[in-house]
């Protein structure tokens, strides 16, 4: 132990899937330097020597990048610095440049005052116990010492060309794009110059203040500007992106949102034509429509835990060519590298529409229609949330007339449809969702869920 190098990180920033905090409150440049020392030491202990580093468009990201690189180099790691861009560009660099690890400085879809870090080693997510071990190592100061090097290398043009490589289609579409002032802005602006069709883009300038709207396309109000652009220009469809470009928002020509599971069904058809019977993975929050449609298309639908790190790991275990979450992380291993890339997903969905006689709106209308709640977040103390799930699970285990899936929380299916209750891995909340074919069925499901929570003294509140 080297007490002079020991550095305690706020436990709140060491999350399940990544590191994330509020700069100036619980996360500092010195913290990032210590994270670099710790990650570099872990990488060296696993036989690694090189890594790629990228950063998003947040105001603090350049300084965070400098601190991280300094820490990595002091632990003997040679760093390739790819500059500002979306997280999938960093993943692309990690997959193609022969480096041992990849580190992306990003606050993802969080407000502007946040920043953080997403990490991979050997193409696998660095999460869970890995992140906890990193925190312990920082606190001990037991770092590997070395003199690593750093160099700048732009892969922007190569990444855009690779994303374009898998576009195909005959129709010239009119498309709206909203990068939301996030890190994908420059990539999208360059991409649409090279795609066929007519393209309209707003909020393309990378701006860490996010002046147009919050950079989270899974919240429908953040798509208002995109919907207005689609209507104004008569577009066939529109795309939005989160702050670091690994999550996608999609609206059809009528301005209606397609959610993560619907996007996944639409891009799965082409994959399953190439690989009949292949496994397609989604998380526990997905609609029953996903599972039914993937079976209809000749695939093997698999339900798994929520969280991009869990999904990536399951893809590697099963060899699945495609996966996705309700949070609109979409992962293509089919013709690609298996990481979540919203820019690439947009190109693949564009290809599907451009090769079809139907519009995206027609495709959406052709899907079975279900009624479901949005994702409902119920406040629950951090120390209590997992025990609530255990108590509900225990109470349900011998109840007749229901099917209980326990992969991630409890997903309960009965004659009315299904309801889900799981503990968030990142917040002091329980996450709930219900789905039914009818209004009455949906209300009964919400009542059943609220009743289970009431027994435990948890108030479901609005929208119940």
- Looking at residue 143, what DSSP letter applies? P
- Let me know: does 226 contact 176? Beta carbons within 8 Å: yes
Give me Rg for the CA atoms of the chain: 22
Q: Closest Cα partner for 262 from 218, 229, 224? A: 218
Q: Which of 75, 94, 108, 327 is catalytic?
A: 108
Annotation says 75 is catalytic = no
Q: Of 104, 119, 130, 137, which Cα lies nearest the Cα of 8?
A: 137
**CA nearest neighbour of 174 among 204, 201, 199:** 199
* 3-class DSSP state of 344: helix
Length in residues, the chain: 464
Other C-beta atoms lying within 10 Å of the C-beta of residue 175 = 24
Cβ atoms of 105 and 117 closer than 8 Å = yes
Reported as type and span, the H/E element at residue 435 is strand 429-436
CA 327 vs CA 197, 282, 311: distances in Å? 28, 10, 12
Residue 270 DSSP SS3: helix
Q: How far apart are CA 166 and CA 169, in angstroms?
A: 10
Q: Which residues pair with 399 in a beta bridge?
A: none
Residues taking part in catalysis:
108
């Amino acid at each position: 132990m080297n007490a002079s190098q020991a550095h305690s990180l706020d436990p709140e920033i060491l999350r399940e899937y990544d590191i994330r905090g509020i700069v100036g409150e619980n996360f500092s440049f010195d913290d990032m330097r210590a994270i670099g020392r710790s990650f570099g030491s872990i990488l060296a202990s696993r036989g690694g020597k090189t890594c790629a580093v990228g950063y998003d468009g947040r105001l603090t990201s350049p300084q965070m990048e400098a601190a991280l690189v300094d820490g990595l180099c002091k632990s003997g790691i040679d760093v390739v610095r790819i500059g500002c861009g979306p997280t999938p560009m960093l993943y692309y660099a990690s997959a193609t440049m022969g480096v041992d690890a990849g580190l992306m400085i990003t606050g993802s879809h969080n407000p502007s005052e946040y920043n953080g870090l997403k990490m991979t080693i050997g193409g696998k997510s660095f999460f869970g116990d890995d992140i906890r071990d990193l925190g312990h190592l920082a606190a001990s100061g037991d770092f590997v010492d070395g003199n690593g090097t750093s160099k700048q290398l732009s892969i922007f043009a190569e990444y855009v060309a690779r994303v374009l490589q898998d576009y195909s289609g005959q129709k010239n579409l009119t498309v709206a794009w909203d990068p939301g002032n996030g890190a994908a802005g420059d990539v999208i602006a360059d991409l649409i110059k090279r795609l066929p069709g007519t393209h309209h883009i707003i909020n393309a300038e990378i701006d860490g203040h996010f002046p147009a709207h919050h950079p989270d396309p899974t919240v429908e109000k953040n798509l208002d500007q995109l919907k207005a652009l689609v209507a104004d220009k008569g577009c066939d469809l529109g795309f939005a992106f989160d702050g670091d470009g690994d999550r996608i928002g999609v609206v059809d020509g009528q301005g209606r949102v397609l959610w993560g599971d619907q996007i996944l069904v639409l891009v799965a058809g082409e994959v399953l034509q190439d690989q009949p019977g292949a496994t397609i993975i989604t998380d526990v929050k997905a609609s029953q429509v996903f599972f039914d449609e993937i079976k209809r298309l000749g695939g093997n639908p698999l339900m798994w835990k929520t969280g991009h790190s869990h999904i990536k790991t399951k893809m590697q275990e099963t060899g699945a060519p495609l996966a996705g979450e309700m949070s609109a992380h979409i992962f293509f291993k089919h013709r690609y590298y298996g990481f979540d890339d919203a820019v690439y997903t947009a190109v693949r969905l564009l290809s599907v529409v451009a090769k079809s006689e139907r519009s995206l709106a027609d495709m959406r209308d052709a899907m079975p229609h279900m009624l479901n709640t949005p994702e409902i977040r119920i406040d629950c103390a951090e120390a209590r949330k997992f025990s609530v799930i255990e108590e509900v699970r225990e109470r349900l285990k011998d109840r007749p007339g229901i099917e209980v899936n326990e992969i991630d929380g409890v997903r309960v299916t009965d004659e009315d449809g299904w309801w889900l209750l799981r503990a968030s891995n990142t917040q002091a909340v329980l996450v709930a969702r219900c789905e039914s074919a009818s209004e009455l069925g949906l209300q009964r499901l919400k009542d059943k869920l609220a009743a289970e929570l009431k027994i435990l003294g948890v108030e479901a509140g609005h929208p119940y």
